[in-house]
Structure 1
Amino acid sequence: MTDAKSEKENRDPAKKRSIIRGIVIVFLVILLILTFFSNTIMNRSLAQVTTSAVTSGKLTERIRGNGTVEPQQSYEVTVSESATIDTIMVKKGQEIKKGDILFTLVGSTSDEITKANDNLRRANLDYQEYLLNEKQESDTQNDKIKKARESLNEAIEKRDEAIANESYNNELKNAKANAQSAKTYQSAIKEKLNTTILAIDMDDYSEAAPEYIGDIILLKGKYDDAARIYEIALESASEDADAKQAAMDEAKTAYENAKAALKESLLSQLSEVDSEIERLDSELASYEENPAVGGESISELEKSVQTKQKELEEAIQDANDKNESNKTVNDLKLEGYKAAIEKAEKELDEAKKNANSNDIVSKYNGIVGDINTKIGSKVNEGDTVMSIDITDEGYLVKIKVEGEKAKKAQKGAEVDILNNFNNDIQAELTNIKNDTVAGSKNMILEFNITGNVNVGANLELSIPCGSGNYDAIVPKSAVYEDKKGNSFVLVTKSKSSPLGNRYYAEKVEVEVVASDETSRAVRGGISAGDYVITAASKPVSPKDQVRMKDN
């Protein structure tokens, strides 16, 4: 009975119509919901763009460029005589004043002093030879002259023997001193190498030896500057942050590669220094086994020679006085030899007075540039050992720009330095000249730099080139360039639909006629009131539908 009733209800036409009507209503509701939200769903898949209105008005055109700080003038420090570098008192990048000591030298006895000493010794030897060989007619009868000559000969032999012994002793002493000095020098080098290697590992070069670090500080400075510029660009959401990061990565790679190469070189030098110190220790030990030869003092023996020489002079003079025929001639000879000795003594005194100081001092105020020597190195007369950047003459930056752009720049213009974070550097355009590269259409702009700046620093300059009024000015980020090098902008165009306005990107070719740091004046198919795309959530091509970013 119950089953029959259920079957009857299922076959009831009214009941079926009710079910169908419910299904249709649900379908229509779903369709209405999908239709209502279709615009929103579609928008989620479109590129979201930021736009800016095209404006008209005044724009100050600018040229941008990067350049490295150079000294306006520098001078080379040279040595006036052969010597050995004993001490280096400064390091690269250090500020110095006129008169500051740069180097000290050892073994810098003037050649004139050595020559004067040789001349005096030769004059004395000539005189003694004359006294010993001069024959008098009465020599056979004059025992006084004979005995005086024998005494002088004996005194000279003793002196010469002592000189020979002293020469051996001096050679031994000098060899030992040179070995000890070389060991001291090598030990100093070892300490500097170890200190510099540690500085490389710590990235702190304040204690590093300047003669070993080369341009590593400059490369580190460029990396630090690039990192700081990138951080600022990142914090300010700058549009060229990617370019700044690429520059930072490039500077970091250059710095890290230089560090690795420098450390490898220093470790190799350290190994060589250790081997040399071991060799010098063996050499010093051998000198201890060969003692010096003793003997009388050369100064005392020289006094004895002078005494015997004077006795012979007096004996010959007495003989000449008795022999009137030889008196005048012999007197003249004696006076000639004495005059030669006096002249040699005066030349020696003069050479000592004119001897150069062992200190090399700076002639100007400035900054130490390249150091071309190291402690213990031998330098010859005229060698350049250092360069000094003269700070009193100021600094210089050069940048290369297109010839057409350079024509718009004016000498005397005050230039903005974009990476002058402390506002303590000033730049002025002082010269515009042709590029020296053959066939180049570029120009070189030269700037006078003042303030707290160092040689080697990289400055990012912005040069004003005059103002003008333009009909269409757009943000710099709105201008693109196609594969052919033509400039264009993407303008948003709206189309009405039942569900509201839809926006599309339209390509419009333009010509850039002027630009500054943020904007560009263009000429083409746009005018004030149009909207150009300045940024997008993903790449946008002409005719693409886009969605506008809510303001």
Structure 2
Amino acid sequence: MNVIDEDASIKRRRITGRATVVFITVMFLLTFFSKSINNFTLPKVTYETPASGALIKEVSGTGNIKANNIQDLYVSSSMKITGVMVDVGDSVKQGQTLLILDTSDIENQLEDELDKYAQKKLHFEELMEAGSPESMMSLDKAVQIARQNVEKAQKNYDSSKVLYEAGAITAINLTDAEVNLDNTKLDYEIAKNNKDKAISSNKRDIESTKFDISMAERKIAELTKEMNMSTVTAPCDGVVTELYYSAGMTANASQPLYRIADTGEGFQFVASVNISAVEYLESGDGAEITINSLNGKMIQGKVKQIRNNQQQIGVKKDVVIDIPLNGLVGGESGKADIKKNIGSYKTLVSNSAVGQDIRGYFVYVLKERKGPLGNEFYVQKVTVSIGDSDNTKTVVLSGINAMDKVISDSDKPLADGSPVMIAN
């Protein structure tokens, strides 16, 4: 081979070598950028490892402050309000004047009732006298005479029977003696019945009159009490929450004169909560109350009672929480937060990690494998059985272990085997 041919061969090899390098470089770059571009389209996921810990149920609900004890007062008779000395929201002391009432009509009613009472007492005394042994003497005498007449008639009949058998008198004479005996017996029964009826009637009248007198005494006591109500005073230290009448109106038995929150008996917060949220709550559980009107001040309380919400039975429950705090009046709104430890468990994952399909519950576990340009990540769908849960965590009973990397969040839907990127 001459020099010219050798140079041409070397030149061709150089060109071929350069082309190969360029080709390999281009292929590498294309593969690299293809993988990079593909990575931008992959779901970005975050993962966690299962951990042991406690489930904490967090229950919250809005509601209002109510006094444990509300005092009120009704009138049984209509009375005109002549003065109102307080306003709703006022703090009052026991014995402080609240209202002034016109009791002139009550005075007239009381006088009438006293007259009726005197009449009933007089009638009672007459009945007692009528039932005395002295008053019953005539009835006793009538029974005694009727019994004596029966004895005489019996003797006469017995004698007539002996004489008739001896042939001394006729059958007519014996029959007359027998009829007379029957009549005296009947008179005796009538006399006894008259006495028994008189005694029973007297007893019934006495008992009825006693009842009437007792009713009259209660009515008099009630009217006397209302007569002394010309000045209505506060029954306790507290806050006026309701005034149902103003000056010039006539009070009646349909509604009370006032309502006062007894500040000495403490307060309770009544929170309305979804029925499913109170499943684990019980009396004595601690609660934190935030009162809006107290600039978000936190108050510690304890659950006293869980009862049906009468407006939404089957949907809501009322959680009654005792709160030891002064300076409240009742009606303040706020929010209750209750945290309840419902148990400790070995394997917990975030609620967001657990999915459900027609086959049951599952989680996605992060896996790693070798690829053309290094390791790559994908997810594996794993069926699990679960237990209880709280607001953030779920108990996993089987299907995963503490070393698994469980997907807790993804910016795109996942499927079994989906390649993924780990979010930074």
Normalised-by-shorter TM-score class: 0.5 to 0.7
Structure 1: gaps (5+ residues): 1-11, 119-350
Aligned equivalent of 1:111: 105
Q: d(CA) in 2 for partners of 1:373 and 1:539?
A: 65
Q: How does 1:53-452 map to 2 (within 5 A)?
A: 53-56=49-52, 58-62=53-57, 64-66=59-61, 68-69=63-64, 70-78=66-74, 81-84=78-81, 87=84, 89-91=86-88, 96-99=92-95, 104=99, 108-112=102-106, 354=227, 356-357=229-230, 360-369=232-241, 372=244, 377-381=249-253, 383-391=255-263, 392-397=265-270, 406=279, 409=281, 411-416=283-288, 424-431=298-305, 446-451=320-325
Structure 1 residues 26 and 428: alpha-carbon distance in aligned structure 2, compared to 1, 3 A threshold: same
In structure 2, do the counterparts of structure 1 residues 395 and 116 end up closer, same or farther at CA, with 3 Å as the change threshold?
closer
* Aligned residue identity for 1:110: S
Query: Is the aligned partner of 1:493 residue 2:358?
Result: no
CA distance in 2, matches of 1:78, 1:528: 68
In the other structure, the counterpart of 1:504 is: 378
Paired position in structure 2 for 1:167: none
| TM-score normalized with structure 1 length | 0.42
Deviations 1:50-92 (A, max 9, x none): 2221113x41543524252444332334457522476573336
Query: C-alpha deviations, 1:387-420, integer Å up to 9, x for none?
Result: 33434242143666768974x5554333455899
Query: How much does 1:425 deviate?
Result: 1.0
| 1:40 matched to 2:13 | no
- 8 Å Cα contact 1:508/1:524 also seen in 2: no
What's the offset of the Cα at 1:436? 8.8
SS at match of 1:494: strand
Conserved in 1, the CA contact under 8 Å of 2:300 and 2:323? yes
Q: Name the SS of the counterpart of 1:489 in structure 2.
A: strand
Q: CA RMSD in A?
A: 5.0
2:353 is the counterpart of 1:478: yes
> Which has the larger Rg?
2
Question: TM-score w.r.t. structure 2 length?
Answer: 0.53
More helix by share: 1
User: Given the superposition, is the C-alpha separation of residues 426 and 27 from structure 1 closer, same or farther in structure 2, using an over 3 Å criterion?
Assistant: same
**In structure 2, do the counterparts of structure 1 residues 441 and 383 end up closer, same or farther at CA, with 3 Å as the change threshold?**
closer
| Cα separation, 2, equivalents of 1:428 and 1:13 | 97
Instruction: State whether residues 473 and 520 of structure 1, in contact with CA within 8 Å, keep that contact through their aligned partners in structure 2.
Output: yes
Deviations 1:7-58 (A, max 9, x none): xxxxx999999999877765654432232233332222223222221113x4
Distance 2:48 2:290 in 1: 25
Conservation of the 8 A alpha-carbon contact between 2:351 and 2:392: yes
Deviation digits for residues 201-237 of structure 1, max 9, x if unmatched? Answer: xxxxxxxxxxxxxxxxxxxxxxxxxxxxxxxxxxxxx
More strand by share: 2
Residues 68 and 31 of structure 1: CA distance in aligned 2, closer, same or farther (over 3 Å):
same
In structure 2, the residue corresponding to 1:384 is in which secondary structure? coil
Q: Which runs of 5+ in 2 are unaligned?
A: 1-7, 113-223
1:293 aligned residue: none
C-alpha distance in 2, partners of 1:443/1:512? 27
Check 1:515–1:455 CA distance in 2 against 1; reply closer, same or farther (3 A cut).
Answer: farther
CA distance in 2, matches of 1:522, 1:499: 36
Q: 1:396, 1:43 → 2: CA distance?
A: 55
SS in 2 for 1:451: coil
3-state SS, counterpart of residue 429 of structure 1:
strand
Q: 1:523: how far off?
A: 1.5
Distance 1:374 1:365 in 2: 22
**In the alignment, is residue 547 of structure 1 matched against residue 414 of structure 2?**
no
For residue 472 of structure 1, report the CA deviation from its aligned partner. 0.8
Q: How many Å apart are 1:525 and its aligned residue?
A: 0.9
- Contact 2:289-2:298 at 8 Å conserved across structures: no
The residue number in structure 1 matching 2:139 is: none
Amino acid at match of 1:397: V
Does the C-alpha gap of structure 1 residues 442 and 472 become closer, same or farther in structure 2, counting only changes over 3 Å?
farther
Equivalent pairs, count: 299
Equivalent residue for 1:237?
none
The aligned counterpart of 1:138 is: none
**Secondary structure of residue in 2 paired with 1:64:** strand
| Equivalent pair of 2:275/2:316 in contact (CA under 8 Å) | yes
Give the 3 Å change call, closer, same or farther, for CA 497–21 of structure 1 in structure 2.
Answer: closer
Q: SS in structure 1 opposite 2:229?
A: coil
CA distance in 2, matches of 1:519, 1:444: 26
Letter of the 2:401 counterpart: S
